[in-house]
Amino acid sequence: MASCGPGDKLLLPRTVHRSVISGLILSGARPIFLLPEVCGRTGLVGSVTPAAIAQAFQAHPDLKAVLIVSPTYEGICAETGAIAALCHAQGIPLLVDEAHGPHFGFHPDLPASALSQGATVSVQSTHKVLSGLTQSAMLHLRPWDPRSGECLIDPGRVAQALQLVQSSSPSYLLLAALDAARSQMATQGHALMTQTLALANQARDRLRQIPGLRVFELPQPQPGFAQLDPTRLTVDVSALGLTGFEADEILNENYGVIAELPSLWHLTFIISLGNNAVDIEQLVTGFAAMAERACDKTFHATCQETFENQFDPKFGLWREIAIGAELGLSPREAYFSAAETIALPDGIGQISAETVCPYPPGIPVLLPGERIGSGAIAYLRKIQAAGGIISGASDPSLETLRVIR
Ligand SMILES: Cc1ncc(COP(=O)(O)O)c(C=O)c1O
């Protein structure tokens, strides 16, 4: 809202969190979506590349701002420095959703923070990874391009926008929690991150040795996969004949291990400053026991059928979802248009009036203003059948949808 007004073009990946779509509805900005890079081996989604952004600048010389997600939920980082340089050359701000990166900048073995790489604005969910209370977050601002001295974003406008979206009764619990988290990281951040990295590296090494598990690694930077936050562990359980949702349930119920993000093939864990050696032991023991049990034929047979119904991880899910999903209206126009409820088969090809996403990770598969593609519906149904949680649908059974009349 501080960088784009109604009709202004914002360049961003299609795989943003639903909070970004809320921002588009509030501001009226027109999204120009790019598809991020997808890892062909694991199906994991990375970032948009500098090359794709440079190409979009040619096609849309009137862009007002660029938004990227770095790191992703799985800890995959963008080439933020190169993207920031492109934006600065264009004289437009780079906004970074750094919800999962508030610990960056506190240890040299962690990726560099977005602001230190030239981002204009970054938002960090202090509550997710550091010790802030739930809902506490920070918006970091670099209003000036240090080279040109140009003001890329007006701090006064940011303050005004905050007044529109925040309560006029600030929570001193949340403010104190932010201050305590800041103080903790300023005084002990390096030591805490040294310990966290050691635990994460130990967990990664031990999980790697369990037959049937594949732990996501990034030995070399790839386009859209510049760096991996080592404190995120993404484990592919598909070779065990399990979906991520099934593995999550087994680990949770039998071994007291809670994944941050279960998906069709993977489980992602956050190792944070709140973890200790006992947690890592429990994680590894749980995985080892589950993998051993999965090798038992009977157990394997019960899970195999569900698994075979899943997508092939190499197909590039978002490409499939995006097929036919052109924007009919801006998210704001769609949000304020008259809508109706319609049975699903008739809804394909109509313009969605709702934001529907598997949660976590909260990346909308349907969003207001976008045409509903059959790939999107098939994907939501798979998630639902596999035991995932779908949020935002007016009809949780997905028999009907709200579409623009
Ligand atoms: C990439 C990303 N951005 C933004 C958010 C929203 O953050 P918060 O829950 O702090 O509002 C999330 C939440 O999961 C997220 O994963």
Unique residue bearing structure tokens 């909308």: 364
Query: What is the model's pLDDT at position 315?
Result: 46
Q: For ligand 1, is residue 96 a contact (CB within 6 Å)?
A: no
Per-residue pLDDT band at 39 (split at 50, 70, 90): confident
Distance CA 219, CA 132 (A): 32
Could you identify the atom of ligand 1 that is nearest to the CA of residue 125? 10
Secondary element (H or E) of residue 69: strand 63-69
Distance 138 CA to ligand 1 centre (A): 12
Count CB-CB contacts under 10 A for residue 187: 10
pLDDT tens digits, residue range 22-32? 999 999 999 99
150-180, pLDDT tens digit by residue?
778 999 999 999 999 999 998 999 999 999 9
Cβ of residue 69 lying under 6 Å from some atom of ligand 1: yes
Arithmetic mean of pLDDT, 355-379 = 89
Coil, strand or helix: which one is 263? coil
The residues near 84 (Cβ < 8 Å, ≥ 6 apart) are 94, 117, 118, 119, 120
Is 3.40.640.10 the CATH classification of the domain at 9-165?
yes
Q: How far is the CA of 100 from the centre of ligand 1 (A)?
A: 8
Does the CB atom of residue 260 touch ligand 1 within 6 A? no
Do the bridges between strand 94-97 and strand 121-124 make them parallel or antiparallel, or are there none, so unpaired?
parallel
pLDDT digits (tens, 9 = 90+) for 178-207: 999 999 999 999 999 999 999 999 999 999
Pocket test for ligand 1, best of 125, 263, 357 (most atoms within 8 A of CB): 125
Which tokens hold the place of 395? 């009809």
CATH of 323-404, one of 3.40.50.2000, 3.40.640.10, 3.40.50.920, 3.90.100.10: 3.90.100.10
Judged by phi (left if over 0) then psi (alpha if -120 to 50, else beta), residue 398 lies in left
Q: Quick one: what percent of the chain has pLDDT higher than 90?
A: 74
How many angstroms from the chain centroid is the CA of residue 189?
A: 24
Distance CA 24, CA 36 (A): 19
Q: Which residues of 83-122 are buried (b: 16+ CB within 10 A; e: fewer)?
A: bbbbbbebebbbbbbbbbbbbbbbbeebbebbbebbbbbb
pLDDT in tens, 282-312: 999 999 999 998 876 545 444 444 434 344 4
Tokens 């073995």 locate to 109
Burial class of residue 243, CB neighbours in 10 A (0-12, 13-18, 19+)? buried
Q: 14-23, 44-53, 80-89, 318-327: which range is least confident on average?
A: 318-327
Which residues 6+ apart lie within 8 Å of 242 measured at CB?
250, 290, 294, 303, 307
Q: Which two tokens stand for residue 387?
A: 């035991």
Is 97 touching ligand 1 by the criterion CB < 6 Å?
Answer: yes
For the chain, how long is the longest CA-to-CA vector? 67
Q: What Å distances lie between residue 307 and 119, 289, 310, CA to CA?
A: 41, 20, 5
- Using CA atoms, how far residue 355 sits from 25, 41, 137, 344, in Å, is 11, 29, 23, 15
Closest ligand 1 atom to residue 127 Cα is 10
End-to-end CA distance of the chain: 28
- What's the pLDDT at 294? 80
13 ligand 1 Cβ < 6 A: no
**150 burial class (0-12, 13-18, 19+ CB within 10 angstroms)?**
exposed
What's the 17 CA to ligand 1 centre distance in angstroms? 6
Q: Residue 66: what are its φ and ψ, rounded to 5°? A: -125, 140
Dihedrals φ, ψ of 327, to 5°?
-80, 120
The single-letter code of the amino acid at 219 is P
- Atom of ligand 1 minimally distant from the CA of 97: 3
Residue 360 CA to ligand 1 center (angstroms) comes to 9
Residue ranges of domains in the chain: 9-165, 323-404
Q: Of 15, 16, 18, 19, which is best to mutate to test ligand 1, by the most ligand atoms within 8 angstroms of its C-beta?
A: 19
> Which of these, 19, 279, 28, 233, lies nearest to 135 by C-alpha position?
19
- Decide: 309 and 382 in contact? Cβ < 8 Å: yes
Residue 323 scores a pLDDT above 70 = no
pTM: 0.93
Q: Indicate whether residue 232 lines ligand 1 (CB < 6 A).
A: no
Alpha-carbon distance 152 to 89, whole Å?
Answer: 11
